[in-house]
């Protein structure tokens, strides 16, 4: 098994480029998925789902999550231990037309995750990114609504984090909100995916908001019901 971070990064590059078969084959060669490293399960699940090879991974994850969930009693603290498994399973469900089940797992993952200091990917970012991937695949607005609701909430919880604004700038149907988030990104993360893919007119408006004296308007954070 090569260094897990390298294998995962290479597979992610291929997946985001739409080279799904190459990503799946590369992961099989690297041995990453067979190592069952929790933090990279979502990469394996995304690869399996896009390659039409989720038949084995899906029931295995279902059994694991069911078994571990039962052990969460008064004598066993399992907080956060199923975070990665739930995200991976959400991907598999979403690619198998089980949107309600996928969204429920995203909710559970958000309600039951630990701090992220020891992780390569921030937990909150991963919840949003899995939802975005599922929306891009299915165009089901339930995913984008979920991602936007959480991203708006996270801007209040962690206002210095740029990734929240990236999701808002990409997925919001409110032009003013997209421009406001782009203005933040131009300051905090000018090489963001959302900045690079933004409508030129909206990017120009965001640049103007960065001028001295400009007031950035944002919508309600939507803290309720998340």
Q: Give me the pLDDT at residue 225, please.
A: 42
Q: Give me the pLDDT at residue 212, please.
A: 65
Q: Give me the pLDDT at residue 7, please.
A: 94
Q: Give me the pLDDT at residue 211, please.
A: 75
85-108: pLDDT as tens digits:
999 999 999 999 999 999 999 999
Query: Which tokens hold the place of 149?
Result: 């609701």
Calculated CA dihedral for residues 148, 102, 137, 34, nearest 10 degrees: 120
In sequence order, the 6+-apart residues with CB closer than 8 A to the CB of 33 are 27, 40, 44, 47, 48, 57
CB atoms within 10 A of CB 101: 14
In the chain (226 residues long), the average pLDDT of successive 10-residue segments reads 86 96 94 88 96 92 87 58 93 97 95 74 93 98 97 91 95 95 93 94 92 56 43
């Amino acid at each position: 098994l090569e260094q897990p971070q390298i294998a995962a990064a290479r597979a992610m590059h291929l997946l985001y480029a739409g080279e799904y078969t190459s990503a799946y084959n590369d992961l099989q060669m690297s041995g990453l998925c067979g190592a069952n490293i929790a933090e990279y399960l979502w990469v394996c699940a995304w690869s399996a789902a896009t390659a039409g090879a989720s038949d084995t991974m899906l029931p295995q994850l279902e059994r694991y999550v069911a078994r571990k969930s039962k052990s969460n009693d008064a004598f066993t603290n399992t907080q956060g231990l199923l975070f990665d498994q739930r995200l991976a399973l959400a991907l598999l469900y979403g690619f198998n037309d089980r949107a309600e089940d996928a969204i429920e797992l995203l909710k559970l993952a958000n309600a039951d995750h630990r701090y992220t200091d020891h992780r390569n990917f921030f937990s909150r970012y991963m919840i949003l990114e899995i939802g975005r991937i599922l929306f891009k695949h299915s165009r089901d607005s339930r995913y984008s609504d979920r991602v936007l609701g959480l991203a708006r909430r996270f801007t209040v919880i962690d206002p210095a984090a740029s990734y929240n604004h990236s999701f808002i700038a990409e997925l919001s149907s409110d032009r003013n909100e997209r421009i406001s988030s782009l203005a933040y990104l131009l300051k905090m993360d000018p090489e963001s995916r959302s900045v690079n893919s933004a409508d030129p007119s909206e990017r120009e408006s965001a640049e103007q908001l960065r001028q001295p004296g400009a007031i950035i308007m944002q919508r309600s954070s939507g803290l309720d019901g998340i």
